[in-house]
Structure 1
Amino acid sequence: MTDLYLSEIYIYPIKSLGGISVPTAAVEDRGLRYDRRWMLVDEKGNFLTQRQHARMALLQVSLLEEGLSVSHKKGEMEPLFIPFGIKDAAAPELQVTVWDDTLAAQEVGPEISAWFTEALGMPARLVRMLEQARRLVDTEYARNGEVVSFSDGYPFIIIGQASLDDLNSRLDQPVPINQFRPNFVFRGGAAFEEDTWSDFLIGEIPFQAVKPVARCVVTTINQETAGKSAEPLRTLATYRQVRHKIIFGQNLLSGSAAGSVKVGDKLEVLSRK
């Protein structure tokens, strides 16, 4: 059997904007450190997403020592610096909505929100998740009342490189892994092997694969150009459809809120579904 190892790690500090490939990442209770701790919302506090606003893909986040930098992939805006903290500690809390969850957050700063409003051509406010905010994983799949950041529903997503290779062998134009926005990519093993996992280790950190990832139109958006296509959903629907949902990758929980993972870490499967 081929050894399994972690080949890529990604974080997405601002939900639905360009992600960052990192060599190592700290594992926290809400997900990887900095992953989806910020989010853009509209005037009513509802989250903004590439599903409706594909041009969000053109805003690329970078990780700096004291905060984030956001640049426009087509150079249409001067880069924006976002400090890790709230610019105005006295800023009022806002009620923001992610799918069916409503929770408190704080706007980072009005001038930062103004930059995003101009970049996206629509009202947008950047908010940061509060440390005390508790957004729970779906109780049907949670094991110990796990919490999550502003991600769609689970702290982590993993995909096997062999699974992507299998998909790309069926496409006229291959798609890159960034259209699936995983946190972890691994090499070794068979295509869709991750579907069979239950408990496993990345290095010394325990994880549990609890639910397949149901895929949406974000997978059809080119993350460099914001252009849309019918693929890869059209092809995935021919062989990866379960109960009318197109499945690719696994949602994960972690049994540990301390420690870190790094590219090259060995994966050890402890139990299977």
Structure 2
Amino acid sequence: MEYRLSEIYIYPFKSLGGISLKRAEATDRGLKYDRRFMLVDGQGNFLTQRKFPVMALIKPEITDEGFRLRYSKDNRIIEIPFRPESDVRAKVKIWDDEVEALLVSEEADKWFEEILKIKCRLVFMEDDVKRYADKKYALNNELVSFADGFPFLIIGEESLKDLNSRLNVKIPMNRFRPNLVFKGGRPFDEDKWESFVLNGIKFRVVKPCARCVITTVDQTNARKSEEPLKTLSLYRKEGNKILFGQNLLHEGAGLIETDSLITVTQWK
């Protein structure tokens, strides 16, 4: 059975659009640039498409200096540098974690406030900020950015094909916001992996990803529907959780690129 990496995605701004890459750098807390920026409300709580589906319509692209964000509804644009010039820090909350983050700029806050229609701030995670993956699954105090809980999420193309064969209207992979997509094998082979190696980097498959309402948001128009959760609940439900994709922890750093061989080193 041969598996190959077919797609790589980063989401520099938590819960905004993703960026497709042919190669990316795996760092100590996931792919370079992935979820290092985040929007928070006036109390410092993180914001996502769960409550603000309009965030799907803000798409980033990489430039020489940083990121260009475009709001697809009216094409307004803002440029955000890779590292903010500000040195002002604030406490922010993401799930059960509270960490310090840099406030990006008043200009950025105003830009997002006009779109989301609430008071909010854009923040950035510096390299010296340590947020740790869930202790129940971590082996070596692995770090994580502003991702929900783990530095990587992987899904097989065959798993999405299996789901789409059951849906009236097919959906793209972007509903599930993976970092890594692979081709080959059978539907949900990723559920059976214990560990694998990709470009010399070791990955451990630690926990199925429990899916939320973000998967029901169409990433092109921000409209919500019942799918795919309604269909997934018929055959991918365990307890009260609907599972699709696998969370990963990793050991090592370096470049990964599409079409690279994935070598499964241990099966469940």
Q: Could you state the TM-score of these two structures normalised by the residue count of structure 1?
A: 0.97
Instruction: Name the residue aligned to 2:257.
Output: 262
- Higher-strand-fraction structure: 2
1:166 aligns with 2:162: yes
1:84, CA displacement in angstroms?
1.1
Instruction: Name the residue aligned to 2:81.
Output: 83
* Contact kept? 1:69, 1:81, Cα under 8 Å: yes
Instruction: Name the residue aligned to 1:177.
Output: 173
1:272, CA displacement in angstroms?
1.1
Counterpart secondary structure, 1:271: strand
1:77, CA displacement in angstroms?
4.6
Counterpart secondary structure, 1:270: strand
Counterpart secondary structure, 2:7: strand
1:128, CA displacement in angstroms?
0.3
Instruction: Name the residue aligned to 1:55.
Output: 54
1:203, CA displacement in angstroms?
2.3
Instruction: Name the residue aligned to 1:245.
Output: 241
Unaligned runs of 5+ in 2: none
Instruction: Name the residue aligned to 1:152.
Output: 148
Distance 2:83 2:183 in 1: 36
Matched residue type, 1:262: E
Q: Give aligned-pair identity as a percent.
A: 50
Matched residue type, 1:217: V
Distance 1:105 1:207 in 2: 28
Identify which of 137, 142, 150 aligns with 1:141: 137
Instruction: Name the residue aligned to 1:107.
Output: 103
Instruction: Name the residue aligned to 2:192.
Output: 196
* Contact kept? 2:104, 2:122, Cα under 8 Å: yes
Matched residue type, 1:43: G
Counterpart secondary structure, 2:17: coil
Matched residue type, 2:261: K
1:25 aligns with 2:20: no
1:222 aligns with 2:218: yes
Distance 2:115 2:75 in 1: 7
1:206, CA displacement in angstroms?
1.0
Distance 2:147 2:100 in 1: 15
Report the number of matched residues.
268
| 1:232-259 Cα distance to aligned partner (Å, 9 max, x none) | 0000000001121000000001111x21
Unaligned runs of 5+ in 1: none
